[in-house]
Structure 1
Amino acid sequence: MADDTIENAKAALRLKALAARAALPQGTRTEAAQAVAEHFFNNIELASGAVVAAYWRIRDELDCQPILVRLMDSFQPVVLPVVLGPEEALEMRVWEQGAALYPSGFGTLAPAELAPQAEPDVVLMPLLGFDRLGTRLGYGGGYYDRTLAQLTKRPRLIGLAFAAQELDAIPREAHDIPLDVVVTETGVRHFGSSQ
């Protein structure tokens, strides 16, 4: 498959995934976020002191605040991504207990500019879609691809999504790093060597 063909296929899948996600009622979204948090904490083992990269929900993504709150309450180190520019990697800033968050573009919030940075051991990833092989479909900006490529270690990649976001198959390019795990309101699925 040529790159243009793959990009066209991904663009069509993004439209399908956006529509499926947008169709979910608000009550379903809230319940799903709570269920995902329960599945996450009941099934994902986090080493003490492991740095977890989370995200602040934008648009109609699955809200990971229930996970964030529990991570912060248990003093698990948390970083939040900050977009610096359209062709740059995300900056992972430490969110310390009690520290304020500030608007950082795209409708998201992040720690202050002077917050320390840290490389994550675990990355909780928002997504538009995923398939049975753990391929993640993002928005197409390449932010996570660039960020993962410049890290000095390979973190565990955990996608957070609604079950309705599962697609039959997503074309995977060489730079697309598959998820290790996806957590939806229906449970946890492991892919590849993380099974």
Structure 2
Amino acid sequence: MENDKFSLRRHYSQLRAALTPQEIQHKSEKIAFQFVHLPDLRAEDTVHLFLPIKAKNEINTWYLVEQLRLHYPSIRLMISRSDFTHKTLTHYYLETDTVLVENQYGIPEPIAAKVADSQAIDWVIVPLLCFDQEGFRVGYGQGFYDRFLSTCRPDTKKVGLSLFPPIIKIADRHLFDVRLNRVLDGDFIWTFTDSLFL
């Protein structure tokens, strides 16, 4: 298998599509458990997360929402709406009564929710198809999250959620790719430092 983003995107999309609902559920629950037990997660933090696209067999982050609300009732949660014209995200607080509607791509998005500022975010939960041993990821190729992460505070923690272990290295990384601080895969917590460079 080639390790360029195009090949990796195709390969891991196929691998993920082959997973059963039971496998997705099991992994999602384990990843949620890992996240809520991170030692540096604080009760007053703000966590931005993605909501799952069912058709893409994504990790079910609703388990994470449930666990965060159970263990950290005062934590603030955020989600986004996507602007596919400009490839940008607008952020909103996710409350227990927030109304969600799936857009044309199957992404659950908030309706009439309170707009939020990316500078308030302490943690960003980042979707990915695969990642490498230096903390870089392959997403869907639209660049939404690289643009979004560049607007966050320097100390905002970026945590990927993965259904698969890492590859050695993505071959065609570039300077605009944002390194993750951690990736959780249900079995291991992968931690990356700024001492690693392209």
Question: Could you say what the CA RMSD is over the residues aligned between the two structures, in angstroms?
Answer: 2.0
Match of 1:141, SS? coil
- Which whole-Å deviations, capped at 9, do the CAs of 1:30-70 have from their partners, x for residues lacking one? 11111111111223522232110011111111111111112
Residue 49 of structure 1, aligned match among 25, 41, 44? 44
Contact 1:82-1:104 within 8 A present in 2 as well: no
Amino acid at match of 1:137: V
TM-fit CA distance, 1:152: 4.8
| TM-score using structure 2 length | 0.85
TM-fit CA distance, 1:160: 0.6
Contact 1:148-1:154 within 8 A present in 2 as well: no
Tell me: CA distance 1:10–1:180, structure 2 relative to 1, closer, same or farther (3 Å): same
Contact 1:72-1:97 within 8 A present in 2 as well: no
| Larger strand percent | 2
Amino acid at match of 2:182: V
Q: Which runs of no fewer than 5 residues in structure 2 stay unpaired?
A: none
Tell me: CA distance 1:78–1:114, structure 2 relative to 1, closer, same or farther (3 Å): closer
Give % identity. Answer: 25
- Cα distance in 2 for residues equivalent to 1:29 and 1:138: 18
| Larger helix percent | 1
Match of 1:192, SS? coil
Moved beyond 6 Å, runs of 4+:
none
Residue 61 of structure 2, aligned match among 56, 59, 64? 64
| TM-score using structure 1 length | 0.86
Contact 1:83-1:104 within 8 A present in 2 as well: no
Tell me which residue corresponds to 1:148. 149
Match of 1:124, SS? strand
Count of matched residue positions in the alignment of Structure 1 and Structure 2 = 186
